[in-house]
Amino acid sequence: MTESVMWIIPEAPAPKTAQSGLRKMGSGSGLRFGVLDNSKSNADHLLEMIIDGVKEKFPDAQIVRTRKPSAAIGAAADVLAELEKETDVVIAAMAD
């Protein structure tokens, strides 16, 4: 079964079918949490706080971290493909 990718953009309204592709995590056991650091100043600190919160709530979660080489360019297609394959949810952060 192929799962579709769902992008959530905070400024945009959520698509009406947003929940249809999501798997329920229940207790969080087996959660695969992806983190994409955009290389902006302090993004690593923000993401570390988020990771700490995820680990506290879901101690068994697997964390997959990756970092873009520059905030000025998008993530490479292979990086995004790997995150899609290896994670259930990904958070990308920017900070200054």
Q: What is the pLDDT of residues 51-84, one digit of tens each?
A: 999 999 999 999 999 999 988 888 999 999 999 9
Q: Which residues pair with 66 in a beta bridge?
A: 36
C-alpha distance from residue 14 to each of 7, 36, 87 (Å): 9, 21, 21
Task: Judge whether 20 lies within some domain.
Answer: no
pLDDT of residue 32: 93
Task: Judge whether 79 lies within some domain.
Answer: yes
**Residue 72 structural domain:** 41-96
pLDDT band at 93 (very low <50, low <70, confident <90, very high): confident
Asked if residue 39 lies in contact with residue 94, where contact means CB atoms within 8 angstroms, the answer is: no
**pLDDT of 40 over the 50 cut:** yes
Task: Judge whether 22 lies within some domain.
Answer: no
Provide the number of structural domains found in the chain: 1
DSSP letters, 52-69, are: HHHHHH-TT-EEEEEE-S
Task: Judge whether 82 lies within some domain.
Answer: yes
pLDDT band at 21 (very low <50, low <70, confident <90, very high): very low
Task: Judge whether 59 lies within some domain.
Answer: yes
**What's this model's pTM, rounded to 2 decimal places?**
0.66
C-alpha distance from residue 89 to each of 30, 41, 70, 72, 96 (Å): 12, 23, 22, 23, 24
The whole-chain average pLDDT of the chain stands at 80
